[in-house]
Amino acid sequence: MKRFTYLRFEVLRTIRNRRFLIFSLAFPLILLSTIAGPNRHVIIDGIGFPLYYMTGMAAWGSMNAVVSSGARIAQERSVGWTRQMRMTPMSASAYFSAKIFTGYMMAIFSIVVLAIAGTAIGVRLDALEWLTMLGLLLVGLIPFSVLGIMFGHLIPIDSLGPAIGGITSVFALLGGAFGPIARSGILLSIVKWLPSYWLVQAGKSALGGVWPLQGWIVVAVWSVVLTRIAVRVYRRDTVRV
């Protein structure tokens, strides 16, 4: 399985990168246990605080995982590796797919660890609800995977860390990952147009089914728009002499 060899090394490279684990796993895990742990009996937005916060942290961590996986292209560009890869039979789409696959692997890992931690502080879901939550998270991560690849072609390598950290934190904050940003009014209707809002809602939605229509539309629109931008950015980057 030659294809598998390449992916295996991509995943291995990611696991060996400590910074990666810190932002996609360690921070969310620490916040979950220190904030949701002591408040496990609080009810927030009609659901238990542990479930709300676990989903919030899973959203934030997995978002970090997929964005930084794509954004690593910036590092590979800076050392000329992407040009080297363009001389191999691997297509550009396969190269990007590998980045997205790796991001998802890390995201799933982070979600699973946070789910275990959530269970430890009292989250109780049945199998279908767990799977629905996981499924919604994975779908909700699509626009962020694309965002990562876009970053990989746009952001200079030395400002990549702060840019990823900043953007994912703002998305997470506005999406309500650290607590609801608004419960009603115009602010709520605005944040509902962010894909991160629906990531954070994945846990709550899983209790009663899936996202309402707006959730699917928001995720789809962001995915399509970001993909178009990413393709443009990529083309501009490769045509350049």
Partner 1 sequence: MKVVSAMTRNISQMGTEKFGVVLLGNVKAVRGVTISIQPGETLALLGPNGAGKSTTIDMMLGLTRPDAGTVSLFGSSPADAIRAGVVGGMLQTGSLIEYLSVRELVTMVASLYPHPLKVDDVLRLTGTEEIADRPTTKLSGGQTQRVRMAIALVADPDLLVLDEPTAALDVEGRRDFWTAMRAVAARGKTIIFATHYLDEADAYADRVILMARGRIVADGPPTEIKAKVGGRTIRATLPDVDPSELSKLPGVMKAERRGDGVILTCTDSPASDTAIRELIARYPDARDFEVRGAGLEEAFLNLTGDNDEDVSDEGAP
Contact positions vs partner 1 (CB under 8 A): 2-3, 5-6, 9, 12-14, 16-17, 75-76, 79-81, 83-84, 86-91, 239, 241
Q: Crossing angle of helices 195-208/213-239, nearest 10°? A: 140
Is residue 48 classed as helix, strand or coil in its secondary structure? strand
Q: Is the dihedral of CA 164, 165, 166, 170 positive or negative?
A: positive
Q: Which is nearer to partner 1, 6 or 27 (CB)?
A: 6
The conformational region for residue 172 under phi > 0 = left, psi -120 to 50 = alpha, else beta, is: alpha
Q: Which is nearer to partner 1, 44 or 98 (CB)?
A: 98
DSSP bridge partners of 44: 47
Nearer to partner 1, 2 or 41 (CB): 2
Give the shortest CB-2-to-partner 1 separation in angstroms.
5
Q: Where are the alpha helices (DSSP H) in the chain?
A: 2-16, 18-21, 27-31, 49-78, 81-86, 92-120, 127-140, 142-154, 160-175, 185-191, 195-208, 213-239
Q: Shortest gap between Cβ of 1 and partner 1 (angstroms)? A: 9
Instruction: Tell the smallest beta-carbon distance from residue 78 to partner 1 (Å).
Output: 9
CB of 27 to partner 1, least distance (A): 21
18 contact partners, CB below 8 Å, separation of at least 6: none
Nearer to partner 1, 89 or 208 (CB): 89
* Minimum distance from residue 66 beta carbon to partner 1 (Å): 18
Q: What secondary structure letter does DSSP report for 209?
A: S
Is the CB of 74 or the CB of 155 nearer to partner 1?
74
